[in-house]
């Protein structure tokens, strides 16, 4: 689940690594953006969506393909559905640290920066220079420009210009931002990390694949946004949006 196209980056990569599973992807466009809504509102819509989805589909693993949902709802969901396996998406700060990075810029939604436990722990670490940059509108901008992401170059260049020379890595703490990963890496000239690989490994660990290739269903509660999902899927099929993080994570 995600608020839009972000979690498709996980779906796309998970299908490659774990093809013999059935996947149901749900884009909660009615709640986009999660990043600036109150946790209570996000949790309410999540429970509504899950109730509807559970009536129709029989799933046993729930993947939060979204750092924000994970930050505000993963503990709550695990209490609510103790029998389900729930996998969250976390900013890959640890992957950056394991790669000897100490001057890290984290881009994430305001909610992720406020509520993610790992970020709050890392803030206290005196050996780490973690720059937190809450991005209130970037996920929305990506959705609006999904047909032409180059339009966002000035926004990204302006944002990163302030950090040139001060950082040795960037962590993308929002699955939407992964569509800009290549642009961000090329401009910043530092490694760019995200949490997808960790999620995909968890999916592999917690599931029992079938003997043959599974099916993939992509669903949304706002049919007008179907086109966004299709365009995003095309991007993911046509170009490697990220290389570095995956290589470094392995």
| 122 annotated active-site | no
Residue 1: closest CA among 107, 55, 56, 73: 73
- Which of residues 67 and 169 has its CB atom nearest to ligand DGL in the complex? 67
SS3 192: strand
Q: Residue 1 and residue 19: Cα distance in Å, rounded?
A: 18
Cβ proximity to ligand DGL: between 140 and 168 the closer is: 140
**Strand, coil or helix: 28:** coil
Q: What's the per-residue H, E or C state across 73-127?
A: HHHHHHHHCCCCEEECCCCCHHHHHHCCCCEEEEEECHHHHHHCHHHHHHHCCCC
For residue 33, is the peptide bond before it cis, meaning its omega torsion is within 30 degrees of 0?
yes
Given the residues 66, 77, 105, 130, select the one marked as catalytic.
Answer: 66
Q: Which is nearer to ligand DGL, 130 or 143 (CB)?
A: 143
Least distance in angstroms from the C-beta of 41 to ligand DGL: 12
Nearest residue (CB) to ligand DGL, 3 versus 207: 3
Active-site pick, 174, 232, 245, 249: 174
**244 is an active site residue:** no
Rounded to a whole number of angstroms, the minimum distance from the CB of residue 167 to ligand DGL is 21
Q: Which residues bind ligand DGL (CB under 6 A)?
A: 2-3, 6, 32-35, 66-68, 109, 112, 139, 174-176
CA atoms within 13 A on the CB side of 186: 9
* Smallest separation, CB 98 to ligand DGL (Å): 21
* Residues forming the active site: 66, 174
């Amino acid at each position: 689940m995600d608020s839009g196209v972000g979690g498709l980056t996980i779906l796309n990569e998970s299908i490659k690594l774990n093809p013999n599973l059935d996947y149901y992807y749900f884009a909660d466009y009615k709640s986009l953006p999660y990043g600036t809504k109150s946790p209570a509102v996000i949790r309410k819509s999540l429970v509504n969506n899950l109730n509807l989805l559970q009536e129709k589909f029989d799933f046993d693993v729930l993947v939060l393909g979204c750092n924000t949902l994970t930050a505000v709802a993963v503990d709550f969901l695990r209490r609510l559905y103790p029998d389900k396996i729930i996998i969250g998406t976390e900013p890959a700060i640890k992957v950056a640290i394991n790669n000897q990075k100490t001057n890290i810029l984290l881009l994430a939604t305001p909610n992720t920066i406020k509520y993610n436990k790992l970020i709050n722990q890392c803030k206290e670490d005196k050996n780490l220079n973690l720059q937190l940059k809450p991005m209130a509108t970037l996920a929305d901008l990506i959705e609006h420009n999904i047909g032409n992401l180059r339009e966002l170059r000035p926004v990204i260049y302006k944002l990163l210009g302030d950090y040139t020379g001060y950082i040795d890595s960037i962590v993308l703490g929002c699955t939407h931002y992964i569509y800009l990963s290549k642009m961000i890496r090329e401009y910043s000239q530092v490694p760019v990390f995200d949490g997808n690989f960790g999620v995909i490994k968890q999916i592999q660990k917690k599931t029992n694949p079938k003997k043959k290739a599974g099916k993939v269903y992509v669903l949304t509660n706002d049919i007008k946004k179907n086109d966004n999902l299709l365009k995003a899927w095309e991007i993911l099929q046509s170009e490697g949006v990220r290389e570095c993080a995956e290589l470094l994570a392995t």
